Structure 1
């Protein structure tokens, strides 16, 4: 039984005992409501103020059983609360309340559906790059390993509308579908796209035949774990140094990353060359490629390359350097 249900059950039982005592005195002794509930209260609280009115023999027998029942209920309640405190359940309940308030405040965040081995790597990268996100997983055992990282999470089925809404999908920027099986991810994709037409959806794809189904369902990008794994193994054999470059970069404690930055229409560097903009000198990050609207990538742009509005810059730098460049652009 979960903690909320335990509290709910305890409250219902306590209210039930009070109502039973009040109704009993009304029926047995013929007292009014106020006298009956007052007698019930001092009896259950074992205050010992004495009887409100003289009791009949039947009333005394009823009072004996009421005291026994009351002591049993309050002892159970005390034991339940003590157990929850000892096992950390009460602390988790309070933390759940704080998390729910924090999730409501989120916007332009990411949702990670599934926190298995694949999801764990995604979470690590989001933490490293200081993104806001919520983890959704119906397996509490998967969630428990993130307790010490103070992450925002929801225990539930990611294909459930209510769960995704609770995770803030209406205001989210993107959603990762990384459940073990394609059919499960497909249900999440359909639900997510129905709830938010503009959200970016990236999903894991195990079977090649599932790729077209995902696209029809509204996925923005499918990632074939088998294909990427195969290409990586080939690269490790053919070009090991180049292949290890990204691994070393991703593990770097400085947090060096490739990142994309969009040039806004009112950006002060729009229309200037890379050299004129001075973005490398001011930030320390480097522009390694530029993607203009309707054009292919321009790799290794020179200082004389013009930056236009609505271009997307692919930059290389630390998390801090990239943030400075994003603010500048």
Structure 2
């Protein structure tokens, strides 16, 4: 049973239940390469066995011929021995040949069989390995980020989080499309195939223990249901939701969303700004695109900045977060920074100098 402060106990989800499945990022070799590698290993074992038999050919007897074994006879004996066919027409007769069969050829036979049945063994053990990995993952997953919907908005949110230093291992993607979750796995994310409006799916993503939940569904009604479900599971998480229509913002806030981003209105504002002032639109696009040019950052006030004006900070401070109040930098209450404040600043991206240097070198 899993518990969370202030929550009712949640039953450990069963990954085999219908409707969802947790998948992990993995790197697969192409099937042709796997088959070729195993065939090469089997051929290597066979050639090694042929060489061992041929070097000690005087210690073997062929019932059909009194002559020492030829290379063909050695290959024949190695083949029937490794495949456990054993016709008995060629047998080890000397002590050295028998000892070689016991301590060398028999282990090679076992290795040969393991290589040939390796695919079957892998299939039989795959489920067990996945269950062990899933159990370990559930124990370790705390204070992570869940992204519901991995379309354009979800991918952009993930890219921004990664740019801010969040490891991919701390991001879990939820999407109903198996192709989308497979693409997320290929990019290094753990993914859950299922409907993000269902509590069982969000529980399988450990949303009840997440620190942040990003809901980037394609439809507003889906976003509302997913927000309600997520807030019911996790009372403390920060839930950020993207919607198309501004009229749905109050409903989402009532449903438990911490912040709501109206994509259509935001895009329209940038369009209007770009029409009136293309440069202003370019700066706004730069600010919301993390990793190039100027970046918007939220950070705590340093000891050196406490007691000073926001204008005295090294970064350009545009807002002050004091408790639950968001103050503009020019408001009287924000004239002096307090040690417990957080500031919203504009700073040059850390990647920008490197990029500019690279541009200069290219030129």
TM-score (norm 1): 0.58
Matched residue of 1:154: which SS?
strand
TM-score (norm 2): 0.53
Q: Which residue of 1 aligns with 2:337?
A: 307
Equivalent of 2:308 in 267, 273, 286: 273
- Describe the superposition over 1:153-179 as per-residue Cα deviations: whole angstroms up to 9, x where unpaired: 222221222322232222222211111
Matched residue of 1:214: which SS?
helix
Measure, in 2, the Cα distance between the counterparts of 1:79 and 1:210. 55
Deviation at 1:113? Answer: 0.1
Measure, in 2, the Cα distance between the counterparts of 1:149 and 1:93. 24
Q: Which residue of 1 aligns with 2:38?
A: none
Q: Between the two structures, name the one with larger relative contact order (CA 8 Å, sep ≥ 6).
A: 2
Task: Report runs of 4+ in structure 1 exceeding 6 Å deviation.
Answer: 82-85
CA 1:107–1:82: 2 relative to 1, 3 Å: closer
User: Does residue 136 of structure 1 match 2:174?
Assistant: yes
- Describe the superposition over 1:240-281 as per-residue Cα deviations: whole angstroms up to 9, x where unpaired: 111112434555756852122245xxx7457432599x963x
Measure, in 2, the Cα distance between the counterparts of 1:255 and 1:103. 38
Equivalent of 2:155 in 120, 130, 140: 120
Q: Which residue of 1 aligns with 2:328?
A: 298
User: Does residue 233 of structure 1 match 2:271?
Assistant: yes
Measure, in 2, the Cα distance between the counterparts of 1:99 and 1:244. 45
Q: Is the 8 A contact 1:103 1:134 kept in 2?
A: no
Aligned length: 237
Q: Which residue of 2 aligns with 1:244?
A: 282
Which protein is richer in helix relative to its size? 1
RMSD: 4.2
Deviation at 1:139? Answer: 0.7
Equivalent of 1:287 in 305, 309, 317: 317
- Describe the superposition over 1:271-315 as per-residue Cα deviations: whole angstroms up to 9, x where unpaired: 432599x963xxxx44333233476523379xx953213322112
Q: Which residue of 2 aligns with 1:110?
A: 145
Q: Is the 8 A contact 2:175 2:196 kept in 1?
A: yes
- Structure 1, unaligned stretches of length 5 or more? 6-45, 49-77, 322-329
User: Does residue 203 of structure 1 match 2:241?
Assistant: yes
Deviation at 1:191? Answer: 1.0
Based on CA coordinates, which of the two structures has the bigger radius of gyration? 2
Instruction: Out of 143-152 and 267-276, give the one that drifted further.
Output: 267-276
Q: Is the 8 A contact 1:269 1:307 kept in 2?
A: no
